Amino acid sequence: MSRTMSSAVRVTPPQDTLSFDIHGLVSVQVEPGTPGEAQLRDMLSPFVGDSTATRGLRVGADYTPFAGQSRAEDAYRYSDESLFLPEDRVQVVRTEEGYRVEGRGELLTAVIPLLDRLCIQERTAMVHAAIVDYRGAGVLLPAWGGVGKTSTVAKLLALPGVGFMADDWGFLSSEGTLFSYAKPMFIKPHHREIYPALFQGSRKPLAPGWLTPTISRLATAVHPVIVRYPRTASFTRRWSPEHRMVHPEEVFGADRISSRAPVRLAIFLERYEGDDGELEPTGLEWMTSRIVGNFHSELPMVSRRLIEALGATGLVPLQDHFGQKAAVVRQALHEVPCWRLRLPRAWSADRASDFVCQVVRTKLDQ
């Protein structure tokens, strides 16, 4: 049956659905038997529980049939309410509550950009950053991958009164509130000096540090294929010699996990070909542009491909998505000191995180 834009699909979840509540903003419901359920259970574990949010994502294995979908060559098929990407074996359907994600692969790569979209409609944006609650002051540290977010979190959590909020993804509301995302942390060989307890006893072996970049590049290259096969992806994720996956509460203790804090400081972290750390103030527009662009750039290729297709077919116009997200970030940070901190590429994670920690202390312990 064909559908028109005015008739969004109504979806009734089956019993025994796995439910998550994303800070009361968005619900995520995963139907039993969904092949990607294990990964979603792992990665959304901080939010498990029933939700009363009016916006929501539903995730299931079975594709909803749509008659007469248009075609964008072989890249995707679409209608006013649906988008199917054959290469990634995932379909997105617009529903009355938000979206339904359907497919046989690991569907986190589709869930995250759609979760971000629904959060934006609730005036909250997902960010790619380390976040801590520094004695009641939220510290936002957006950065590119590999800059040292996870290492910096450890140094800041060594201080009394500091709470963990995120080391990779988090949430920022237009009212200036940071919300946590205490998902599993990925510990790598270069974290040995910073998280020594995680390298003691009988644990999964890790590749030597000099080999990690090569393994990381290989993992990135095969990721778009691996995510199509949940069992293979689950095995790879748990047994990859590149990293170990641990939950923040296992590292810092449940009492050190903070749910929210008002943002009081934003520092964008970068690596560069220099000899010393460089700190400089930035404007609001500069920081807004970097935060929006950084989150998009750090998404997996499969996620970025989905966003492109949603924009091309009009289900989520790109100008709306990025413009509205920028508006949320801009309003959130309009009275917040914004800085750029450039760290020498040659510095170890240990040295770089010490420097970042000292800058944060200098700015907030005044």
Mean pLDDT calculated for residue range 326-351: 96
Mind listing the pLDDT tens digit for each residue in 114-166?
A: 999 999 999 999 999 999 999 999 999 999 988 989 999 999 999 999 999 99
Mind listing the pLDDT tens digit for each residue in 51-61?
A: 999 999 999 99
Mean pLDDT calculated for residue range 23-43: 94
- CA distance linking residue 362 with residue 355, whole number of Å: 11
DSSP 279-312: EEE--HHHHHHHHHHHHHHHS-HHHHHHHHHHHH
Half-sphere exposure of 238 (CA within 13 A, CB side): 9
Judged against a pLDDT cut of 50, whether residue 2 lies above it is answered with no
How confident is the model at residue 234, as a pLDDT? 59
At position 334, the amino acid (one-letter code) is: H
**What's phi and psi for 161, nearest 5 deg?**
80, 5
How is the chain split into domains, by residue range?
1-122, 126-206+243-293+329-364
pTM to 2 decimal places: 0.85
Structure tokens at 334: 């309009």
The CATH architecture that domain 126-206+243-293+329-364 belongs to is: 3-Layer(aba) Sandwich (3.40)
Mind listing the pLDDT tens digit for each residue in 301-316?
A: 999 999 999 999 999 9
How confident is the model at residue 298, as a pLDDT? 96
- CA distance linking residue 329 with residue 210, whole number of Å: 37
Asked if residues 267 and 294 have their Cβ atoms less than 8 Å apart, the reply is no
The more confident residue out of 228 and 215 is: 228
Q: How many residues in the chain?
A: 366
- CA distance linking residue 190 with residue 244, whole number of Å: 12
How confident is the model at residue 209, as a pLDDT? 52
Closest CA to 121 of 314, 322, 324: 324
**What's phi and psi for 208, nearest 5 deg?**
-60, 155
Mind listing the pLDDT tens digit for each residue in 59-111?
A: 999 999 999 999 999 899 999 999 999 999 999 999 999 999 999 888 999 99
Mean pLDDT calculated for residue range 360-364: 97
How confident is the model at residue 363, as a pLDDT? 97
**What's phi and psi for 172, nearest 5 deg?**
-135, 120
How confident is the model at residue 75, as a pLDDT? 92
- CA distance linking residue 22 with residue 356, whole number of Å: 29
Mind listing the pLDDT tens digit for each residue in 250-296?
A: 899 999 999 999 999 999 999 999 999 999 999 999 999 999 999 99
Within 8 A by CB and 6+ apart from 289, the residues are: 326
Please state, for a pLDDT cut of 90, what percent of the chain lies above it: 72
Residue 5: pLDDT band with limits 50, 70, 90: very low
Residue 1: pLDDT band with limits 50, 70, 90: very low
How confident is the model at residue 280, as a pLDDT? 98
Residue 177: pLDDT band with limits 50, 70, 90: very high
Asked if residues 122 and 247 have their Cβ atoms less than 8 Å apart, the reply is no
How confident is the model at residue 221, as a pLDDT? 46
